[in-house]
């Protein structure tokens, strides 16, 4: 399931096919039986309606979770850019040689953070994370000697700013790992299959008009697609654009 979460278009195609197939199977089972009594058909309509209501609530809940996680990733991107920009300015408080070293490292660091947001390749992402970890070590090593040599409140500002830079990357990474649980996806899919089967079973249309049943599978598949898009940080069309980091990188490289 986690693989499908990272490929929204594949999830859309498979869910559309599975939902339509469940409607078709439900309708075929209906055609094997004799005609419904009116009371039995009304009961089936009630059960199908209640099941569809539950499915709608689950999809709405999952969509709310996906939107919340998407907004969280956007907020952390902004916070990360602010932390890096603040530390870039505070580097002026260091001796000239140390300040130049810290600024150069921060320029390389912000470039790696932009790549983290824009890359789609898993192997390249692993390399980016390795380079980022190395740059974080170098950044802390660059400020440690001047700060420990002159432990004043001014030096504490530099150390605090660098701590914010390192922490902001950790918060961002945690937000990108925070996905909709697989169990929630499985629950939605199982209930969606059951709902489509009930709709097909309770419908009065014949098998020749089964194309009418494509509307519910299409709606469910589109809903799953949109949720997966919002919940897939490194894939799909809807992704967090590092606009703040790009703007910061432009201003840093101009100096």
pLDDT in tens, 156-210: 888 898 999 999 999 999 988 888 888 889 989 999 998 888 888 776 554 445 5
| Domain assignment of residue 92, given as a range | 2-254
Alpha-carbon distance of 136 to 130, in angstroms, equals 10
Question: What's this model's pTM, rounded to 2 decimal places?
Answer: 0.81
Q: 135, 113 in Cβ contact below 8 A?
A: no
The number of folded domains in the chain is: 1
Q: 25, 200 in Cβ contact below 8 A?
A: yes
Alpha-carbon distance of 245 to 241, in angstroms, equals 9
Give the pLDDT confidence of 206-253 residue by residue, as tens digits.
444 556 667 888 899 999 999 998 888 877 788 888 999 999 988 887
For residues 74-106, b (16+ Cβ closer than 10 Å) or e, as one string?
A: bebbebbbebbbbbbebbebbeeebbebbbebb
Q: 82, 71 in Cβ contact below 8 A?
A: no
Q: 54, 129 in Cβ contact below 8 A?
A: no
Where do we find the tokens 């089964």? 210
What is the pLDDT at residue 207?
A: 47
How far is C-alpha 101 from the chain's CA centre? 35
With a cut of 80, say whether residue 75 has pLDDT above it: yes
Give the pLDDT confidence of 105-138 residue by residue, as tens digits.
999 999 999 999 988 888 898 999 999 999 999 9
Q: 84, 106 in Cβ contact below 8 A?
A: yes
């Amino acid at each position: 399931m986690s693989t499908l979460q990272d490929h929204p278009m594949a999830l859309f195609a498979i869910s559309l096919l599975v939902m339509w197939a469940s409607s078709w199977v439900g309708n075929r089972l209906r055609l094997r039986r004799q005609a419904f009594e009116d009371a039995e058909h009304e009961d089936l309509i009630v059960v199908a309606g209640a099941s569809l209501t539950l499915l709608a609530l689950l999809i709405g809940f999952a969509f709310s979770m996906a939107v919340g996680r998407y907004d969280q990733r956007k907020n952390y991107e902004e916070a990360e850019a602010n932390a890096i920009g603040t530390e870039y300015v505070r580097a002026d408080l260091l001796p000239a040689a140390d300040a130049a070293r810290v600024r150069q490292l921060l320029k390389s660091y912000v470039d790696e953070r932009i790549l983290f947001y824009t890359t789609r390749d898993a192997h390249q992402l692993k390399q980016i994370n390795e380079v980022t970890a190395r740059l974080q070590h170098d950044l802390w090593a660059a400020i440690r000697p001047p700060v420990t040599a002159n432990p004043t409140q001014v030096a504490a500002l530099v150390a605090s700013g660098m701590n914010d830079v390192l922490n902001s990357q950790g918060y961002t990474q945690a937000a990108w790992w925070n996905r909709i649980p697989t169990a929630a996806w499985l629950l939605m899919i199982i209930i969606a299959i059951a709902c489509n089967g009930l709709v097909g079973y309770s419908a009065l249309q014949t098998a020749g008009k089964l194309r009418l049943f494509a509307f519910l599978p299409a709606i469910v598949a589109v809903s799953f697609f949109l949720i997966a898009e919002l919940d897939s940080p490194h894939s799909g069309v809807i992704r967090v654009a590092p606009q703040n980091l790009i703007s910061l990188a432009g201003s840093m490289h101009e100096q």
